Amino acid sequence: MMSPNLASYSVAGSDAVAMLYRPTHPRLLLVHDEVAAIQSLYHALGHDHQLFMASAGEQVLPMCLQHTPDLVLLKVALPDDSGIDICRQLSTDERTAHIPVVLLTDGEDVLQQVSGIQAGAAECLAQPVNPVLAKLRVSVQLALHYQARLLNEQLEHDAVSGVGNRKRFDRQLATEWRRAVRNGEPLTLLLLDIGYTRTPSGQPGDAQLRQVADSLSGRLQRPADTISHWGQGRFACILPNTPWVHGMALGHELRASLGQVWQLVAVAGEPSAGQEEADIRVGVAVRTGDSLGSMAGLLALAESRLADACQPTREPVQGVVLP
């Protein structure tokens, strides 16, 4: 029977907070090899969560990559591996480091708990697992997980344009660069400069920046493609697995499409006297499967090509392949 204090906490505490941030049915990966424990946890969590099962350590990483769980419940002692070693692997892999792990320890084994926390576990839960306590601990960890995600989204969001800011660009470029190198795939980086020819500052206003972001978002529809506001009327597009010919073609396409999105806006509270004109320039840098250069080199080449494209006598779309 649930104690009054525990019942009160589960209602007024973590469940109320978690529901503000989590989806209707968060995904949980349960890693266990004992039927009785699996059934107990399934009865406790199956109604409010999507549960995926694994019974061996070698299955954990592939299932995390396939199902992208919101949380992993991991038994400390598996037939083929140590749950602590698996936890360490998940916490150090960039693809899974954001997933909280609740380690299911052998009773109140303090050494296992300490080792688990040191390996990156967010929480330890003693076995045999109390179903009410399991539900509560999972709810707390999900609440923390989604609050952290919301905070990261806010920190990486550009309020003016509505897309990612430079912080998100830096993080996403590092992630996609590592993936491209690991898989031997191409990676295209586009930098776009939106320079105005009929405004005193030579820079677009907030309304135009939002239009640019909306137009780019409509053109780049693959989930992995990333758009960020670079600042000072510039945008950056990261295009994973995009070769040279497609990257250059897209640079020309984006330049043409952005030329059609301008509208009249208010200047200092008064309507503009006439349609503002935009001078759109694009710098393209592409990493091929054979490139040996660095991520910093790719970014530097994209900035160099954009600087060339911004010269009045040069072609408005300039590109280069990373050596």
Q: Is the dihedral of CA 167, 169, 172, 175 positive or negative?
A: negative
pLDDT of 260 strictly over 70: no
Single out the residue of 249, 97, 63 nearest to residue 178, CA to CA. Answer: 97
> Residues with Cβ < 8 Å from 276, sequence gap 6 or more?
196, 198, 199, 204, 208, 262, 264, 265
Residues 114-141 have a mean pLDDT of: 92
**pLDDT value, residue 159:** 74
Strand residue runs (E) in the chain:
27-31, 50-54, 71-75, 101-106, 123-127, 187-196, 226-231, 234-240, 266-267, 270-271, 278-287, 317-321
**pLDDT value, residue 2:** 38
**pLDDT value, residue 17:** 41
The C-alpha atoms of residue 151 and residue 167 are separated, in whole angstroms, by: 13
pLDDT of 102 strictly over 50: yes
The C-alpha atoms of residue 119 and residue 85 are separated, in whole angstroms, by: 7
Residues 282-302 have a mean pLDDT of: 94
Residues 70-94 have a mean pLDDT of: 91
Distance of CA 95 to the CA centre of its chain: 10
Residues 277-303 have a mean pLDDT of: 90
pLDDT of 274 strictly over 50: no
**pLDDT value, residue 271:** 40
Residues 264-286 have a mean pLDDT of: 59
> What's this model's pTM, rounded to 2 decimal places?
0.58
**pLDDT value, residue 126:** 92
**pLDDT value, residue 254:** 85
The residue with greater pLDDT, 248 or 7, is 248
pLDDT, tens digit, 9 for 90 and up, residues 208-249: 677 777 778 777 778 888 888 887 778 999 999 999 999 999
Residues 67-76 have a mean pLDDT of: 93
**pLDDT value, residue 14:** 42
Through-space distance between the first and last CA atoms of the chain, rounded to whole angstroms: 67
**pLDDT value, residue 149:** 76
Residues 295-311 have a mean pLDDT of: 94
pLDDT, tens digit, 9 for 90 and up, residues 8-52: 333 334 444 444 455 678 999 999 999 999 999 999 998 889 999
**pLDDT value, residue 265:** 38
Mean pLDDT of the chain: 81
DSSP letter (8 states) at residue 49: S
